[in-house]
Amino acid sequence: MSEISTGSTPDELLAIAVRVAREAAVTARRMRAEAIVDVQTKSTETDVVTAADKAVERQAVEALLKDRPGDGVLGEEYGDSVAVAPGAVRWILDPIDGTVNYLYGLPQYAVSLAAEVDGVVVAGVVVNAATGDEWTATKGGGAWRDGRRLTGSARTTLDQSLIATGFGYDARRREHQGAVLARLITRVRDIRRLGAASLDLCLTAEGSLDAYFEKGLNLWDHAAGGLIAEEAGLVVGGLAGEPAGGRMLVAAPPALFPALHDALVELDAAGGA
């Protein structure tokens, strides 16, 4: 892999990301064990999740900037640390993706960390903090889990496909998302709502899900998982030629993407609040 203008190759950036994300995952898991005691004594449930989110993010940001002081970081809790110069690295971090699962102790919550240069994600890792499962990708270097190259699902028809999605936190947005889902569910094998967008993308990359779509994601939800899905050969995009983003993200194998895309356009999945 060629060197990019940051002085580091995507592989070198990935190595840093993997180390930092693994350490962050250990902290997230440990804090959850301690939080059970906290919830019963002094804190509210949301305080516990917010405290863990903040602590994990602080730890990861410190570790990144210790290694690479000139870089910027966009994190869910703290926002953008510094303006990033052209050609410099911006790390995009979700300290705990799947916070509701984290709260309930369901084993689908993850640290998601990506390295972006000039608006292009060049390396990414997602670590399921509950299980230690890990997915990685570099731009042009493929997507990997446990030394196995990922290639997505071979499914080609919507009616045979297992489709994952997610819902925003806003009730008005959910109303529309629920209406879309009520009509889509009759056309597919089944629907899954696992509760962590980064893991949805990784599971789609490895073919454990056939496709995934969601409206309303933030960049930190999909930066790393989106690269992993793309590098697994999936099409990752929005509707009607738009790039993947907050209005809509669809990730599907090339043979399945058009059918899912067209159904989502017909159902106005990018509409509503």
Give me the residues that bind ligand IPD (CB under 6 A), please: 94, 97-99, 166-168, 195-197, 214, 216-217, 221
CA nearest 213: which of 245, 183, 241, 187?
245
Count of Cβ atoms closer than 10 Å to residue 57 Cβ: 22
In terms of phi and psi (left: phi > 0; alpha: psi -120 to 50; beta: otherwise), the region of 142 is left
Residue nearest to ligand IPD (CB): 166
Instruction: Choose between 83 and 171: whose C-beta lies nearer to ligand IPD.
Output: 171
Q: Is 133 a catalytic residue?
A: no
E strand or H helix that includes residue 13 = helix 10-41
Measuring CA to CA, which residue among 179, 185, 145 is closest to residue 162? Answer: 185
Closer CB to ligand IPD, 127 or 217, in the complex: 217
Q: What does residue 243 show for φ and ψ, rounded to 5 degrees?
A: -70, 160
Instruction: Give just the sign of the alpha carbon dihedral 126, 52, 68, 246.
Output: positive
221 in active site: yes
Find residue 92's DSSP bridge partners: 74, 114
Q: What's the closest the beta carbon of residue 49 comes to ligand IPD, in angstroms?
A: 9
Our answer to whether residue 76 is catalytic in this structure is yes
Residue closer to ligand IPD by CB (options 144, 220) is 220
Least Cβ distance, residue 195 to ligand IPD (angstroms): 5
Taking a C-beta distance cutoff of 8 angstroms, is the pair 87, 117 a contact?
Answer: yes
Q: CA 223, CA 245: separation in Å to the nearest integer? A: 10
For ligand IPD, the closer of residues 216 and 238 by Cβ is 216
Helix, strand, coil % over all residues of the chain, rounded to 5: 40, 20, 35
Check 53, 76, 200, 231 and give the catalytic one: 76
Q: Which is nearer to ligand IPD, 78 or 167 (CB)?
A: 167
Given 53, 57, 71, 94, the catalytic residue: 94
Choosing from 57, 133, 214, 221, the catalytic residue is 221
Least Å distance, CB 213 to ligand IPD, is 11
CB of 186 to ligand IPD, least distance (A): 22
Minimum gap (Å) between residue 68 Cβ and ligand IPD: 24
What is the DSSP track for 22-68? Answer: HHHHHHHHHHHHHHHHHHHHT--HHHHHHHHHHHHHHHHHHHHHHH-
4, 92, 96, 163: the active-site residue:
96
Catalytic, 97? Answer yes
Closest CB to ligand IPD among residues 117, 210: 210
96 is catalytic: yes
In angstroms, what is the minimal distance from the CB of 5 to ligand IPD? Answer: 31
- Would you name the residues annotated as active-site residues? 76, 94, 96-97, 99, 221
